[in-house]
Amino acid sequence: MRLQIGSFRSCSELPGLAGGLPIARSIPLGVLLLIVQPAGADEALAFSFEADPTAEIPSVPAEDEVEEPSPFPVEAPLDKDARLYRTNAERRDVGLQRNITPWLIVSGLLEIEGLRDEFSVKWRKDKEIDRVVAAAVQLGLVASPWKHLKGELVVEYDTESDQLFTEEVIASLDLEPWELEGGIQYLPFGVYISHFPSGPLLEFGETRAKAANLSYGRDERLDLALALYQGRTREVEADAPGANWALAMEAWPLESLAFGLSYQSNLADSDARLLAEEDNRYLRKVPGLSGYLIWISHQFEVTFEALGALHPFRVLPPDFDQPRAWNLEFAHFPWPSFEWALRIEGSQELEDAPELRYGAAVTWRFQRRASFSLEYLHGRFKEGFATNEEDKSYEYVDQFGAQLSIAF
């Protein structure tokens, strides 16, 4: 008996038997063929075996690298996106997540950014130029010594401010579908999605505070979050800041569609320090409302987000007492290593901000660890909303930016 096992690309490659086997003439490419011919026999038996071409071969991640899922359960192009991140929350988790011990993970991000702003002043031909070149280094630690307990620490050094500060320090208890987080953290108010190095105007609502955050997410279709936090502002006659809260909801009705709403009881507590010139004091609290909508396909993404104060701040001038902003972006991912995006955004009653701004950005990814972005934005100001040191009103501004991001 003769036994032959092989993988043949065509019938002509079958050794001495293909011409006499009718079945061999119809064998597809790449099929494993088993031929059995008893001793002294003129005929042979052929058995073919073919693997399922759609079967996936599981990959084993490197021992020293751990990837955490995207904050967006929608199938977003983050793992093949040219930019390393598209929200501030993703930026804080963008490192390579290397295991120092089985329960300790460290990650880092280095960013170098250059900006050039050319301001046009009313009744003047020459422009005022403002240049900024800065670098920032972010380090993150995640400790999981026990099954349901986790600690997170994010620190950052910025050359522009020349300060090292703790961005987040959080202890969390995860008992699915519930999770409780406590510490210095960003509140669940706004998402701030962008494919540009420069964040959108509506980032004036981002708030970092000492908070306790309780979230619920039974599946990947709905998430709820409630945060209680200690604010930095107080009522005019109060001796200390009071307790405040934020509420958020995110839903994914379709694989390609997501939307969310969030509410914060006191918008004056945001990192924009809207009441800084009023000694962080208010006559009454002004809540903020935010919402976003995302549509995603394999190569395209469209996002819209809006955020603003629901009532006027009585202690602010009438022209600036109810800030609001919105942002619309379109992004195209023709290749995993390249993307381009368009933005149009606007604001109302937001001091020093353009009333309308639009532009484009391109980003290249260098393997997995780094990306480089270029952007151009043109903004137009409402008269009196942005002035120079001579109290002259700016008409418009042209912004040119470049950013290098390296994850480690």
Parse the chain into domains and list their residue ranges: 2-49, 88-407
pLDDT in tens, 129-162: 999 999 999 999 999 999 899 999 999 999 998 9
Which range is least confidently modeled, 10-14, 276-280, 389-393? 10-14
Which range is least confidently modeled, 71-85, 227-241, 267-281? 71-85
Are 72 and 258 a contacting pair, CB within 8 Å? yes
pLDDT in tens, 55-97: 444 444 444 444 444 434 333 333 446 788 888 888 888 777 8
* Residue 284 to residue 152: CA distance in whole angstroms: 35
Q: Is 136 exposed, middle or buried (0-12, 13-18, 19+ CB in 10 A)?
A: middle
What is the reported pLDDT for 27?
42
CATH, domain range 88-407 = 2.40.160.10
- Of 397, 395, 333, residue with least CA distance to 359: 397
Is this prediction's pTM over 0.85?
Answer: no
What is the reported pLDDT for 126?
82
Mean pLDDT of 325-332: 98
The answer, yes or no, to whether residue 350 has pLDDT greater than 60, is: yes
pLDDT band at 273 (very low <50, low <70, confident <90, very high): very high
What is the reported pLDDT for 116?
97
Are 182 and 211 a contacting pair, CB within 8 Å? yes
Q: How many CB atoms lie within 10 A of CB 164?
A: 11
Mean pLDDT of 231-239: 87
Q: What is the mean pLDDT of the chain?
A: 83
Which range is least confidently modeled, 146-160, 271-285, 317-331, 377-391? 377-391
The answer, yes or no, to whether residue 106 has pLDDT greater than 60, is: yes
What is the reported pLDDT for 188?
97
pLDDT in tens, 118-130: 999 977 778 899 9
The answer, yes or no, to whether residue 12 has pLDDT greater than 50, is: no
What is the reported pLDDT for 81?
67
